[in-house]
Amino acid sequence: MGKTITETIGVDLGDRYSTFCVLDQRTGEERGRGRLVTTPAAFEDFFRGRTGARAVVEVGTHSPWVSRILERHCAETLVANARELHFIFRNDRKSDESDPERLARVGRMDPKLLRAVTHRSEEAQKDLAFVRARTALVDTRTELVNTLRGLVKSAGGRLPRKDTSAIRHDFCRALPPLMREALTPLVLTIEFLNDEIRDYERKIDELGTETYPETAVLRQVDGVGPLTSLTYILTLEDPDRFAHSRDVGPFLGLVPRLDQSGNIDKQLGITKAGDAVLRTLLVQCAQHILGRFGKDCDLKRYGERIAARGGKIAKRKAVIAVARKLAVLLHHLWKTGAVYDPDYAQKQRHAA
């Protein structure tokens, strides 16, 4: 039997200070409001003993550790999905005084409107930091390489077409003499980033092999490597959180947005909800599957049928469709531990 809710507390999380509003659960009357220093100690002190409270916080940078504290002390903790509450987070009169009260009132009356998100465990957050840090270094490297190539072109030169991860100090010889002194530090920084990225990739491979052996089931699919499989496992964390594998596509923002009204049914882009890093990795896997190095399989043939409609738009839709189907397939493999058959659908059609 669940705990009895006696009060609802809305908390607007800030970087230095967080504001709160306490409502009586039965009458909706305000019991108090104020602000806390956004530190674990301050939250522990304020929420200790509030065993009858329903706490509502907005999703953000601080919400993972805050929600873990609230779950230890409160009867119920809800992390509001900002994408679903535009009337709070995009309000023209948004303020630190009104936001916690709005969160509390929605949480008191109908918690389902909050479309609460579930934060991953502390262990998963720690391990996922390796993926996030690698992504940051890759983005930085890309920006530096683009800057380097642009500056060299502006001087009438052109750098050799070389994989970014292969750029080393000997690359400096290809720089125009006029700019060599200025651009050599960029090349050396890129080389340093390459070494650091390789170290992260070794650690990610090690985590997948030793700590998360279930990643091996996902790596059965051509194009899915240690990085994608580990990110998938750590982002979803629990395969049983989804009743159906097809629910993973919407969760990761790989389904089209809807805008229907009467006879109008607009064709819109994908929602891009959920984790952007995992969505990007799945799209990259889909591009590999549909590319010249991708092995012939159900996924490839499915994407090729969509791309055959013609034009760049059809090709982009094919990539997204394969990424979505891949997300569903990986969840099925993870949940069942099945041996992957790349031609299963084709065999079923022939058998029929």
CB 208 within 8 Å of CB 228: no
Global pTM value: 0.87
Cβ count within 10 A of residue 27: 8
Burial label for 104, CB within 10 Å (0-12, 13-18, 19+), is buried
Q: What percent of the chain has pLDDT over 90?
A: 73
DSSP string, 14-33: -SSEEEEEEEETTT--EEEE
pLDDT at 172: 86
pLDDT at position 89 is 59
Contact status, residue 188 vs residue 169, Cβ threshold 8 Å: yes
Domain boundaries along the sequence of the chain: 7-114, 122-211, 216-343
d(CA 28, CA 15): 28
Task: Extract the tokens encoding 79.
Answer: 């992390």
CB atoms within 10 A of CB 275: 18
The residues of the chain scoring below 70 in pLDDT are 1-2, 86-96, 260-267, 352
Query: What CATH topology corresponds to 7-114?
Result: Nucleotidyltransferase; domain 5 (3.30.420)
Distance between CA atoms of residues 177 and 173, nearest Å:
9
According to the model, what pLDDT value does residue 139 have?
Answer: 96
Rounded to 10 degrees, what is the CA torsion of 87, 88, 94, 100?
150
CA distance 242 to 129: 24
